[in-house]
Amino acid sequence: MSDTFLFDALREATDEEMQKDLSVFVLGEDVGHYGGSYKVTKDLHAKYGDLRILDTPIAENSFVGMAIGAAITGLRPIVEGMNMSFLLLAFNQISNNAGMLRYTSGGNFKIPIVIRGPGGVGKQLGAEHSQRLEAYFQAIPGLKIVACSTPYNAKGLLKSAIRDDNPVILFEHVLLYNLKDYVPKEDYLVPLDKAEIVRKGTDLTIVTYSRMRYHVMQAVEDLVIENYDPEVIDLISLKPIDIKTIVDSLKKTHKLLIVEECMKTGGIASEIIAQVNEQCFDWLDAPVVRLSSQDIPTPYNGKLEKATIIHPHQIIESVRMLLV
């Protein structure tokens, strides 16, 4: 069976859920006739029409607010952000409405909305198009946040998110859309709250997510040659963090390296370190090491941009340091 591109896996998930449930619809900039900036909604407009594949004006706060209102009435909107950075314009709607209304209504309203789109550091997209907003949204009560990293988990996560009665933000990395891998034809779901153990090992635990999964695995290829045996965990769920999987791994390895594309200050790694210190500090044989992007706006210059994020050689050096 042929492999599937990640963007096609997301399109398949959207198509299948729209066929099953008439309450599911998509809205966003250029999602209709154009088929989406990264072709996640390609050809769906011809199949479902203007009212279920809805092209919106360039007004994120307006169409995200409209989607939340639609969710309250019983529909299941999928909001595509042309770039996740633009959703900062709808931060009020996402935080004060999507995240809170189920609670502030005493449970009278459900908010089954999915907000998804491309983010992360691409290739010379400039500071305003290279933001990593996972840490921005992580502090908002009521949201679930996931980051896909393979075509398989991208499709399963999106289907799970669409069926969930709570607001879910799905982060897709702009450089992973053309990644190809096996995706089953049969219906399947990927849990919204579970990490994936990508590689089992005994020497140390490496926790990562999204595109950094591939930088980690590239480093692991060299580390194995040097007789190191790392365990690799792909978080997938950024909120809630599957801390149990991490703790269970640390009880075996006793050392932790976190690799993220998020900024260092207030990033996802910061929250993991806090929870690890609370739950299994006595199991650690060394301080936790985190490799994060630099706390600066991402430069447009290609060489400077490359210097702001983590690369495999830095992961290799950190593992050697931890396992001296």
Backbone angles phi, psi at 5, to 5 degrees: -65, 155
Residue recorded with tokens 């390296």: 257
Per-residue pLDDT for 3 more than 70?
Answer: yes
CATH class of 4-181: alpha beta
**Alpha-carbon gap, residue 242 to 236, rounded angstroms:** 9
DSSP string, 284-317: -SS--EEEEE-SSPPPSSHHHHHHHS--HHHHHH
Nearest to 199 by CA among 147, 253, 151: 253
The active-site residue, picked from 17, 29, 45, 129, is 129
For residues 128-146, average pLDDT:
92
Q: Which helix (H) or strand (E) is 313 found in, with range?
A: helix 312-322
Per-residue pLDDT for 250 more than 80?
Answer: yes
The answer to whether 88 and 135 are in contact (CB under 8 A) is: no
For residues 170-194, average pLDDT:
96
**Alpha-carbon gap, residue 85 to 82, rounded angstroms:** 9
Determine the pLDDT at residue 130: 87
Domain definitions of the chain by residue range: 4-181, 196-322
- Encoded tokens for 261: 């594309």
The active-site residue, picked from 60, 80, 134, 172, is 60
pLDDT tens-place string over residues 199-209: 999 999 999 99
Determine the pLDDT at residue 274: 97
Q: Across all residues in the chain, what is the average pLDDT? A: 95
- Encoded tokens for 24: 């599911």
Residue 215 is a catalytic residue? no
For residues 2-27, average pLDDT:
96
Residue 313 is a catalytic residue? no
pLDDT tens-place string over residues 50-94: 999 999 999 999 999 999 999 999 999 999 999 998 999 999 999
Q: Which CATH fold topology does 196-322 show? A: Rossmann fold (3.40.50)
**Which tops the pLDDT comparison, 131 or 145?**
145
Determine the pLDDT at residue 128: 86
pTM for the predicted model, two decimal places? 0.95
45 to each of 42, 117, 185, how far by Cα in Å? Answer: 7, 18, 22
Per-residue pLDDT for 219 more than 60?
Answer: yes
For residues 294-321, average pLDDT:
94
Determine the pLDDT at residue 131: 87
**Alpha-carbon gap, residue 118 to 114, rounded angstroms:** 14
Domains 4-181 and 196-322 share a fold: yes
Determine the pLDDT at residue 218: 98
For residues 94-103, average pLDDT:
95
- Given pLDDT bands bounded at 50, 70 and 90, which one contains residue 1? low
